[in-house]
Amino acid sequence: MLNRRNWIYLALMVVLLLGVTGVFAQDAPSGELEVFSWWTGGGEALGLEAMIARFSELYPDVTVVNAAVAGGSGVNARAVLTTRMLGGDPPDTFQVHAGEELNAVWVAAGLMQPLNDIYEANGWLEQYPQGLLDLITDEEGNIYVVPVNIHRSNVLWYNPAKLEEWGVTVPTTWDEFIATCATLAEAGVPAMAIGENWTQVHLWESVALGVLGADGYNGLWDGTTSWTSPEVISTFETLGAVMDCANEDMNSLSWQDASQRVINGEAAFNIMGDWAAGYFIADLGLEPNVDFGWAASPGTSGNFIFLSDTFGLPVGSPNPTAVNAWLSFIGSAEAQDIFNPLKGSLPANTTADIGNADLYNAYFQSAYTDWTSNSIVGSLAHGVVAAPAFSNAFAGLIASFQGDGDAQSIAANAALLAIQTGMAQ
Ligand code: GAL
């Protein structure tokens, strides 16, 4: 007969055994995993699809639901996401930009779960750039998302053969650009291809950096550059002059339409983030330095406007175990080497194989050189430097400006907005 003590020993042994055999271990990921983003095609989707395909090989019991909502830069996806998050119906995981788009909304509302355990388990605190980690960490040291990439915003794209045909060179300042615009007008070619409203904000941030320099540009976000200063007013005047050199149908063009005009020889230049490289290379099968060329946007050589796409774990995510597996995967060097060569971006994880020229062609090598040697500033159009309260309303001001061309008025309205949204100290 077992006495009481032996019973206790026996019970302890059983508990230990169950633990070792995994009965008490965390469940293996299974079920549905809804991945919410705005990468739906036209160069946007290939990287995501490739990453999902590899994840599905590793986790065959998880069914990934690719819940991408069309619309460049997330203009539509963000509205859908907001409704779902506030309606208690969050996706398992969603795309969000590192910086204020994450912090001023989802972290501030207490709707994101910290991911420090995942970072520690994977050794990522040593593998991600500190500046990027700072943008996704709160004051208590909680890290909220996993970045999949580094994109560059201030890139001027062109078609080398067409420039030669028209007898123009790549402008390195806005004055040069305006001079080139006159030459191209004689050939009946718009100097700049511009798309819908958010691409105009995107263009303005390149113009602003080119006109103000890195310190002046950064000062817009910490209140040390006055929105009504002559320099800032001139950023809008320059934007107006560039718009005068562009296609008139800009509001009806997606970013892909606008960058494709350059490839087709229907416009000379386009300023777009390097997801355009992903579109050209992975989607259109074009070759860098042959079918398309690039340079820092005028006046911004030595400066890199950066942004980063990330995914996180919202409060109420239906399948957190699968999200943990997803996030652990997408932050790995393996996933980032699958995703980024298709997406047009650099890996955010510094242990990825960026030195491999078979994987990362001439475009990536040049972007990487600049990323590691330039002054880095954050993007307004893609959520880094300002809360959506500012950036959404600023996009509205750009829409009015496109109609009235009034540089004084937009500068004054932006100044007001900076005060209202707490940016001007
Ligand atoms: C950005 C995003 C990029 C790309 C682009 C165009 O906001 O960070 O990854 O998707 O929009 O849609």
Domains of the chain: 28-150+308-375 (3.40.190.10), 152-306+380-420 (3.40.190.10)
Q: State how far the alpha carbon of 411 is from the alpha carbons of 121, 393, 408, 421, in Å.
A: 48, 13, 5, 15
Residue 24: the pLDDT is 43
Q: How far apart are CA 1 and CA 86, in angstroms?
A: 61
Residue whose structure tokens are 């078979």: 358
Helix (H, G, I), strand (E, B) or coil at 88: coil
Residue 43 Cβ inside 6 Å of ligand 1? The answer reads no
The answer on pLDDT for 203 being more than 60 is yes
User: Whose alpha carbon is nearest atom 10 of ligand 1?
Assistant: 73
User: Whose alpha carbon is nearest atom 4 of ligand 1?
Assistant: 73
pLDDT tens-digit readout, 363-413: 999 999 999 999 999 999 999 999 999 999 999 999 999 999 999 999 999
CA angle 164, 254, 238 (to 5 degrees): 60
- Which of 309, 380, 392 is the best mutation target for the ligand 1 pocket, counting ligand atoms within 8 Å of the beta carbon and taking the most? 309
Residue 42: the pLDDT is 83
DSSP H/E element including 193: strand 192-193
pLDDT tens-digit readout, 221-260: 999 999 999 999 999 999 999 999 999 999 999 999 999 9
Residue 26: the pLDDT is 55
User: Whose alpha carbon is nearest atom 11 of ligand 1?
Assistant: 73
pLDDT band, very low/low/confident/very high, at 43 (cuts 50, 70, 90): confident
Gap from CA of 308 to ligand 1 centroid (Å): 9
Residue 73 Cβ inside 6 Å of ligand 1? The answer reads yes
What's the pTM?
0.94
- Which of 101, 275, 384 is the best mutation target for the ligand 1 pocket, counting ligand atoms within 8 Å of the beta carbon and taking the most? 275
> Could you tell me whether strands 93-97 and 31-37 are parallel, antiparallel, or unpaired per DSSP bridges?
parallel
pLDDT tens-digit readout, 50-98: 999 999 999 999 999 999 999 999 999 999 999 999 999 999 999 999 9
Residue 19: the pLDDT is 44
Residue 309 Cβ inside 6 Å of ligand 1? The answer reads yes
Q: How many CB atoms lie within 10 A of CB 373?
A: 10
> Which residue, 301, 314, 265, is CA-closest to 160?
265
Q: How far apart are CA 147 and CA 331, in angstroms?
A: 7
Gap from CA of 332 to ligand 1 centroid (Å): 21
User: Whose alpha carbon is nearest atom 8 of ligand 1?
Assistant: 309
